[in-house]
Every structure is written in structure tokens, then in C-alpha cells.
């Protein structure tokens, strides 16, 4: 479905949907817990439903209602082989692989799109160190594979150079044991705030996790978990709304951003501030007021999902070029986001140069409207929509339905902030 985006200024206050990252983690942790957990403001998206269905396949019970999702942990291990489809969700794949390694029967994983080429070897190797057996595909791809446990607590070394998700998977899986384990990081680490999010949520749910330089100690349950938790609003979703305010000279306030919970994509606020927008924080509400004034040099090692959005912002900065770095692993996401960001910035009229892990974007004197009917990556589609709000005329973007992967209400929320902004299918 193609969406027509008309230029305009966004204004208003909105609560972003529940965090995708925390919904994934809450489902996984609760599935192997010892108490029913009620999740309020859980994100209902294609990716989180994939994790929900996965934990069900592993024996947990999850009931969904408009008020909350209720997770009843598995009572017994699996009695027979099962297959889990992770569709196109990398987070689901890695978190569920760790949970499956707790089982003493084989669990087979399959996926769609680019998921079979996403890196899995660091997680496979770590789980094998703990006693799991992994039957890899002969093709050299990551999927399909079969894993059989059970793993045992202990010491493990693992790389987080391509993704932080293997660390989160191990932290959650090892929290199922009362005996201690240690996870030692090898090499550079990308997306470190996502590991911090996992640690925070494990602690909220009663687990003891000690953090030292390049090492995590999972030390068993400290106290009974709460019966109910509230998933914080999603900074990743809010980033598009704040960027829309900055790029159009408008103002958007997002509520529900509990400051107790780290979120990698809150770094968009640092980037917007350095680009000249005004950023105001008050409790759980953050307001961004445009306009953009200048380009920015920004390292995205900790927040790679912001790369397409910052590429669009850089293409619309009124003065100065921008240089983005720290995200070479983006080529292994739902699309080759490095190449797609270059194409998108150029579509808006910017000049680009990619060399040595750095992307330089020089904005045009006047941005152009775009026609991107072939776009299918949800983050590229939402980024393109934000840029189209500041174009000189209507733009056409597809596949509009792709936003259901992470932010199903994106078009509706954009329409609330500016009735004409979301356009018409």
C-alpha cells in the first residue's frame, strides 16, 4: 500500500506506544519465571507477537486484552520437538534461542526475509560453551537451525561486535537458575544500552545481576517478582515524532517515558539538540521544538536504529554537512540500511560520500519531494515519511503497512499531530 505524504507542520502531545524492546524482554523473562506477570502498555506489533507466539510454543501461557497482557510461566519443560517461526524479528530469534536452550528436547527455528542471514554464530558458540547442541544449516546461513539443551549455569565468553542481543539472550536464559553464572564480553560492543535495558528489567523482576567492566554476573533471584509492571513508552517510536517536529519547525511532546528505564534511541534527543532544536525534559515527558539549524557529527555505535532517521534529518539541515559513523553492521538488518539510507538522503536531493565507516551528507539548497514505492523496511518507511513532511510538495511512500513491525499506530499518531500529515493510501 502506497501512502501519500503532504508537507506540513506537526504540533501536539502524544503518548508513544509501549517499548518494543521492553515488551520483548518482559515476555521472555516472565515466560521462565515463577509467578504470573501482568504487562500493562505492552506493544502489540508484528515483532512482539512473534516473541509472544514463541514463548507460547515453549510452554508459557499468554492472554491478551485491551488492558494488559498476562504471562503465566511454563510449568514443565517441553515433552516433544517443536518449531518456532521468528518471521523477520531478530530480537525474537535471539531471545527465544536462549530460552529454547533450557529445554532437553530439540527446538527448530525458521525465519523469513533477511532473518536467515542475520549473524547467530556468537550466540551459538556461547550456548555451546554452556552445554547446548546446535545443528546449523549446511548453507552457511543462520536459519533454519535446531538447538537442544539443557544448558547449565557457568562461565561463558561471547562477542557483541555485531549485535548486543546475544548478551541479552544469555542474561535472560541464565536467570532461570539459582546458581551463579558469569558472562565475559570479548571485543568491541555495539548497542550497549540494550544490554543495560535487559539488566534493568531483570532487576525489576526480582533477579540479581552484577555489572563490572566487560563482565556480568547473574546471581539468582533476589526477591519475588511484582505481579504487574508497566512497559515504558517507546523512545524508538517517539524519535520519529520528535524528528517530525524538528524538521517542520513544529513542537511535539511525548509522555510516558519513564526515566528509570534506559533506551538506546533516546540519543536522538542529543542529536536534535546539537542540530539546533530545543529539547525540554520534565519527568516522563520530553518536548522537542524545531527548527533544525545545522548538521551534526554523530556516532551511532550505541543506537544504530537511528541511522536512517538521522540520514533524513541531515538531508534537511539548513547549514553544514553531517557525518554519521559507528554502524557498519546495519548492512545485516531487515534491509541494507547503510545503502538504503544513502539512497533516501539522495532522493531528497542531498549529496553523500561513504568511506571508512563514515557517511557524510551534504544537504541541497532545496529538498525535493520523493516517490519511494519500493520501500519495505519499517524504519526506512517512517524516516522517509518524516522527511516528506518538509518536502516542497506531496511525496509517495510504500509499503505503508510495514510500520506494523514496530509501530502499528504510526500513521494514526502522525495524523493526530497534523491531520494532513499522514496523507491517504
Looking up cell 553544514 gives 320
| Coil, strand or helix at 386 | helix
Report the pLDDT value the prediction gives residue 421, as an integer from 0 to 100: 43
First to last CA, the chain: 7
Strand (E) positions, 256-399?
278-282, 285-289, 297-299, 322-325, 351-355, 358-362, 371-372, 395-397
Q: How far apart are CA 7 and CA 395, in angstroms?
A: 8
Q: How far apart are CA 214 and CA 347, in angstroms?
A: 41
- Total Cβ atoms within 10 A of residue 230: 16
Q: How far apart are CA 347 and CA 385, in angstroms?
A: 13
Mean pLDDT, consecutive 10-residue segments, the chain of 425 residues? 92 96 97 94 97 97 94 89 96 98 97 93 97 92 96 96 94 96 94 94 95 94 89 97 98 95 96 98 96 96 94 96 85 78 96 94 94 86 96 91 95 87 43
Peptide bond into 38 cis (omega under 30): no
Report the pLDDT value the prediction gives residue 31, as an integer from 0 to 100: 96
Interhelix angle 165-174/90-100, nearest 10 degrees: 30
Distances (CA, A) of 272 to 308, 350, 369: 14, 19, 23
Residues in contact with 37: Cβ distance below 8 Å, sequence separation at least 6, in sequence order: 26, 30, 70, 71, 205, 225, 226, 227, 228, 229
Report the pLDDT value the prediction gives residue 106, as an integer from 0 to 100: 97
Sign of CA dihedral 72, 78, 79, 84: positive
Sign of CA dihedral 17, 400, 396, 359: positive
Report the pLDDT value the prediction gives residue 331, as an integer from 0 to 100: 62
Phi-psi region of 357 (alpha: psi -120 to 50; beta: other; left: phi over 0): left
Active site residues: 305
Report the pLDDT value the prediction gives residue 221, as an integer from 0 to 100: 83
Report the pLDDT value the prediction gives residue 329, as an integer from 0 to 100: 67
Q: How far apart are CA 84 and CA 86, in angstroms?
A: 6
Structural domains in the chain, sorted by start: 3-17+233-417 (3.65.10.10), 20-152+169-177 (3.65.10.10)
Q: How far apart are CA 124 and CA 158, in angstroms?
A: 10
**Segment (H or E) for 24:** helix 20-31
The model's pTM: 0.94
Angle at 206 between CA 203 and CA 210, to 5 degrees: 40
Largest CA distance in the chain: 65
Cell of 345: 538522503
Strand (E) positions, 257-357?
278-282, 285-289, 297-299, 322-325, 351-355
Amino acid at each position: 500500500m502506497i501512502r501519500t505524504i503532504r508537507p506540513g507542520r506537526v504540533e501536539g502531545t502524544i503518548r508513544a506506544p509501549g517499548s518494543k524492546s521492553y515488551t520483548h524482554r518482559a515476555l521472555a523473562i516472565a515466560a521462565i519465571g515463577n509467578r504470573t506477570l501482568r504487562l500493562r502498555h505492552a506493544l502489540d506489533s508484528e515483532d512482539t507477537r512473534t516473541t509472544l507466539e514463541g514463548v507460547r510454543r515453549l510452554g508459557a501461557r499468554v492472554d491478551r486484552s485491551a488492558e494488559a497482557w498476562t504471562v503465566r510461566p511454563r510449568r514443565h519443560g517441553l515433552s516433544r520437538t517443536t518449531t518456532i517461526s521468528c518471521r523477520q524479528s531478530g530480537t525474537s530469534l535471539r531471545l527465544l534461542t536462549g530460552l529454547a536452550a533450557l529445554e532437553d528436547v530439540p527446538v527448530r527455528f525458521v525465519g523469513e526475509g533477511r532473518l536467515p542471514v542475520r549473524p547467530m554464530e556468537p550466540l551459538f558458540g556461547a550456548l555451546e560453551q554452556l552445554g547446548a547442541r546446535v545443528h546449523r544449516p549446511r548453507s552457511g546461513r543462520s536459519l533454519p537451525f535446531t538447538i537442544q539443551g539443557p544448558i547449565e549455569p557457568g562461565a561463558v565468553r561471547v562477542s557483541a561486535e555485531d549485535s548486543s542481543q546475544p548478551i541479552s539472550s544469555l542474561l535472560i536464559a541464565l536467570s532461570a537458575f539459582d546458581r551463579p553464572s558469569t558472562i565475559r564480553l570479548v571485543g568491541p560492543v555495539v548497542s550497549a544500552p540494550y544490554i543495560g535495558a535487559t539488566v534493568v528489567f531483570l532487576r525489576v523482576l526480582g533477579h540479581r545481576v552484577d555489572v563490572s567492566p566487560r563482565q556480568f554476573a547473574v546471581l539468582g533471584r533476589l526477591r519475588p517478582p511484582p505481579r504487574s509492571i508497566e512497559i515504558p513508552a517507546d523512545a524508538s517510536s517517539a524519535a520519529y515524532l520528535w524528528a517530525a517536529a524538528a524538521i517542520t519547525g513544529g513542537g511535539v511532546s511525548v509522555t510516558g517515558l519513564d526515566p528509570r528505564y534506559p533506551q538506546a534511541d533516546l540519543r536522538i534527543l542529543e542529536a536534535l539538540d546539537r542540530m539546533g532544536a530545543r529539547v525540554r525534559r520534565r519527568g516522563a515527558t520530553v518536548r522537542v521544538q524545531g527548527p533544525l539549524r545545522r548538521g551534526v557529527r554523530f556516532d551511532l555505535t550505541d543506537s544504530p536504529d537511528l541511522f536512517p532517521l538521522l540520514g533524513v534529518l541531515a538531508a534537511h539541515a539548513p547549514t553544514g554537512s553531517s557525518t554519521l559513523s559507528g554502524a557498519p553492521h546495519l548492512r545485516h538488518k531487515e534491509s541494507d540500511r547503510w545503502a538504503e539510507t544513502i539512497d533516501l538522503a539522495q532522493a531528497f536531493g542531498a549529496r553523500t560520500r561513504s568511506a571508512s565507516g563514515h557517511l557524510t551528507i551534504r544537504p541541497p539548497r532545496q529538498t525535493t519531494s520523493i516517490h519511494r514505492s519500493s520501500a519495505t523496511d519499517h524504519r526506512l518507511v517512517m524516516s522517509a515519511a518524516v522527511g516528506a513532511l518538509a518536502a516542497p510538495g506531496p511525496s509517495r511512500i510504500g509499503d505503508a503497512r510495514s510500520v506494523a513491525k514496530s509501530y502499528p499506530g504510526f500513521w494514526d499518531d502522525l495524523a493526530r499531530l497534523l491531520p494532513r500529515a499522514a496523507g491517504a493510501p
